Structures are given as C-alpha cells and as structure tokens.
C-alpha cells in the first residue's frame, strides 16, 4: 500500500471542516437573524429550543425535512429539482478560494503550521466573481421551471438585478486589484499588514477600507444586491410576488434556497473582510491568533447585514435600477479611474 501524503490528508480534512463550518454558519445566521430581528422590534425571538433558542435552526430544519415535497403539475420536473442544487452548489463553491487566517498550528496542537484556505488560486478574486455569476442560473431556472407567474416574475427580477449589480461588484474588485497589485486573496490580505505611523506612533491599520472607502461602499452595496437581501430583496418581495422564485418550493428544496442565501451572505462578508478589512491583521494584536480576528470582523459584517435588513424599507424596483445604473455604476467607474491615477502617481 502506498504511503498517503499527509498534505492530502490535511487538504481533505480542511475541505470537510470548511464545508460543515459553512453549514453551521448558515444555521448560526438563521438564529442570529431571528434574535436580531426580535431585539430590533422589542421582542425576545426564539427562547424555547435550547439555551437562548440556540437549537431553533435545527428544529426548523427538522420541520422542513418532515414536510411534504410538492411539485406543481405543469412544472418541468428535471429543472425544478436541479435549480436548488445549482443555487446551493455555487454558494458553497465560492468559499473554496477564500483564506480565513494565517498558517496556524492551533496553539501548538499540530507539528507543522497548516494554511487556512481550501485552495490558493492566483486568480481567486476572479473565481469568486465567476461563481457569483453562475449563481444566477439557480434562481432563473427555479422561476422558469415552476411555471407559475409569481415565480417567473421573481426569477426575472432577480436575474436582472444580479446582472446590473455584478458590474459594480467587478469594478470594486478591480479597484482593490489596482491597489494590491495581485488577484490572489492571500496576497491582498498580506498587502494590508502593519499600520500607518505618525511621528513613530501607529495610528491607523493599513487596511484597504481607508484607501478605498468608496470601493468598500460599492462592494457592500453590490454584495447585498447580489445576495438578494433587504433593502434589495425584490425576488421575494412578499407584498408583490408572494415569495418570488421559490413560491412553488416546499420542504427541503425550499430549505436549499434558504441555505444558499445565508451561505452567500457569509461568502460576501468573508471576501469583504479579506479585501477591505485587513483579513487576519489587527495591528496591535498578535498575528498568530489571526483566525480569531478574522472571525470577529466577519461577525461584524454579518451583523451589519442583519441590521440593514431590519432598518431600511425595500426600494421600489425602478429605484433599484436607477440606483444601480445611474449612480452606483458611474461612481464605480470614477472610483476606478481615480484609483488608477493614484496608483500611477504615487506608485502602489
């Protein structure tokens, strides 16, 4: 029997751990969403299942599992079941190029430090972008194959929305690429190490959010629109479209769309952490605890997501398109030009 390369074992373990961590993070986000929503509306939220309602997401999943699976008669059987799989698949896939900490031994638990990412691709930013653009298919096909008017309208709306905001998303990525001079997420994070000094005193961490505040704003706005979250949650605008593209879905197929939405939120926040918030660097604090700082920043961004959802009302659809094409896109083009000029003048 040939010897098994320990690197392969580590890689497999990493893949399994990341996959389940994403599943758990989706469960955690469901719980957090309910709690935050409740608190913002002066309620308590789930309290019965487990301590502080922590087991609520698992109860939800069990409930969904035991529900009846329904498929409308006029729907397209194959596409109807492929659509949620595409949604979940792309949601999970995007995370594989996102690093989430410096190489670590887990407090001396392991002999050799292991890198904390599934794959370090030298075009990681573009991979994230490409997979995000594949995610549209799940929603479009769900809307079309259901063969019902609300589903179709929801699917069309969301795809138009995602195509419009993808441009701004890409422009924001390009402006970071100009500053960092690399497409690899790992290199981008390493470019943000250290702090700016004033008279020898470190005053500001070298995060790209301070170099690219407009880029950060564009990225987060486009990210929220890409993940179809409030105030851009048109695909499922309840008052107009019942539940949009997943109107006809029940039981686990519905749960898969639900899961995809939360995993996408985690991925967008993780990418934003790496691109703008310095990844695992938090200057006065030690880097070897990097993954802790990384998770702290991720949680802040995810809380921001929930906070926005329960604060802002939904836009109107024409306002969304106006905002995307007439404000955000010109802004991101100008931002890109200014960044390019700055890099040329100051030399990155």
CA–CA dist 162, 147 (Å, integer): 21
183 contacts another protein (rule: CB under 8 A): yes
For residues 104 and 264, which CB has a smaller minimum distance to another protein in the complex?
264
| Stretch touching another protein by CB under 8 A, among 5-13, 52-60, 124-132, 186-194 | 124-132
| Stretch touching another protein by CB under 8 A, among 37-45, 99-107, 123-131, 209-217 | 123-131
Tell me if residue 198 falls in helix, strand or coil.
strand
For residues 61 and 142, which CB has a smaller minimum distance to another protein in the complex?
142
DSSP 290-346: HHHHHHHHHHHHHHHHHHHHTTSPPPPHHHHHHIIIIIIHHHHHHHHHHHHHHHHHH
At which residue do the structure tokens 């407090």 appear? 107
- Within residues 133-172, the interface with another protein by CB under 8 A covers 133-134, 136-137, 140-141, 144, 156, 159, 163
122 contacts another protein (rule: CB under 8 A): yes
Contact assessment for residue 157 and residue 150, using Cβ atoms and an 8 Å cutoff: no
For residues 140 and 225, which CB has a smaller minimum distance to another protein in the complex?
140
Supply the minimum distance, in Å, between the C-beta of residue 328 and another protein. Answer: 18
3-state secondary structure 68-116: CCCCCCCCCHHHHHHHHHHHHHHHHHHHHHCCCCCCECCCCCCCCCECC
For residues 127 and 241, which CB has a smaller minimum distance to another protein in the complex?
127
What element of type H or E holds 211?
A: helix 208-211
121 contacts another protein (rule: CB under 8 A): yes
CA–CA dist 195, 65 (Å, integer): 50
For residues 133 and 251, which CB has a smaller minimum distance to another protein in the complex?
133
Cα 131 to the center of its chain, rounded Å: 12
59 contacts another protein (rule: CB under 8 A): no
For residues 101 and 244, which CB has a smaller minimum distance to another protein in the complex?
244
Q: Report DSSP state, residue 203.
A: E
CA–CA dist 260, 86 (Å, integer): 9
343 contacts another protein (rule: CB under 8 A): no
Q: Which of 168, 117, 155, 291 is nearest to 235 (CA)?
A: 155
127 contacts another protein (rule: CB under 8 A): yes
Contact assessment for residue 281 and residue 192, using Cβ atoms and an 8 Å cutoff: yes
Supply the minimum distance, in Å, between the C-beta of residue 244 and another protein. Answer: 16
322 contacts another protein (rule: CB under 8 A): no
For residues 30 and 136, which CB has a smaller minimum distance to another protein in the complex?
136
76 contacts another protein (rule: CB under 8 A): yes
Sites of contact with another protein (CB under 8 A): 76, 78-79, 121-123, 126-127, 129-131, 133-134, 136-137, 140-141, 144, 156, 159, 163, 183
């Amino acid at each position: 029997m040939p010897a098994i390369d320990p690197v392969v074992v580590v890689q497999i373990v990493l893949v399994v751990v990341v996959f389940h961590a994403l599943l758990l993070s989706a469960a955690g986000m469901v719980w957090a969403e309910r709690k935050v929503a409740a608190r913002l509306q002066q309620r308590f939220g789930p309290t019965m299942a487990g301590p502080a309602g922590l087991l609520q997401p698992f109860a939800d999943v069990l409930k969904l599992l035991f529900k009846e699976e329904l498929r409308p008669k006029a729907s397209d059987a194959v596409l109807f079941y492929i659509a949620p799989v595409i949604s979940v698949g792309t949601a999970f896939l995007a995370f594989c190029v996102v690093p989430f900490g410096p190489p670590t031994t887990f407090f001396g638990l392991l002999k050799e430090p292991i890198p904390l990412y599934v794959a370090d691709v030298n075009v990681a930013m573009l991979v994230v972008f490409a997979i995000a653009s594949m995610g549209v298919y799940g929603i479009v096909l769900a809307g079309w194959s259901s063969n019902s008017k609300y589903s179709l309208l929801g699917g069309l709306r969301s795809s138009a929305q995602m195509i419009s905001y993808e441009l701004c998303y890409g422009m924001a990525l390009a402006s970071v690429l100009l500053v960092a001079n690399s497409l690899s997420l790992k290199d981008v994070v390493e470019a943000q190490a250290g702090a700016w000094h004033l008279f020898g005193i470190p005053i500001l961490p070298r995060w790209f959010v301070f170099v690219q505040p407009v880029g950060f704003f564009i990225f987060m706005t486009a990210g929220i629109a890409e993940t179809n979250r409030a105030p851009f949650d048109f695909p499922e605008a309840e008052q107009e479209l019942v539940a949009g593209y997943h109107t006809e879905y029940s039981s686990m197929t519905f749960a898969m769309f639900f899961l995809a939405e939360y995993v996408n939120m985690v991925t967008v926040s993780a990418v934003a952490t790496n691109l703008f918030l310095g990844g695992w660097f938090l200057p006065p604090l030690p880097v070897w605890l990097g993954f802790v700082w990384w998770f702290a920043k991720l949680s802040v961004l995810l809380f921001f997501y929930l906070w926005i959802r329960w604060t802002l009302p939904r836009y109107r659809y024409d306002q969304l398109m106006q905002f995307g094409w007439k404000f955000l896109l010109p802004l991101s083009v100008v931002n890109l030009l200014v960044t390019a000029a700055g890099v040329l003048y100051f030399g990155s």
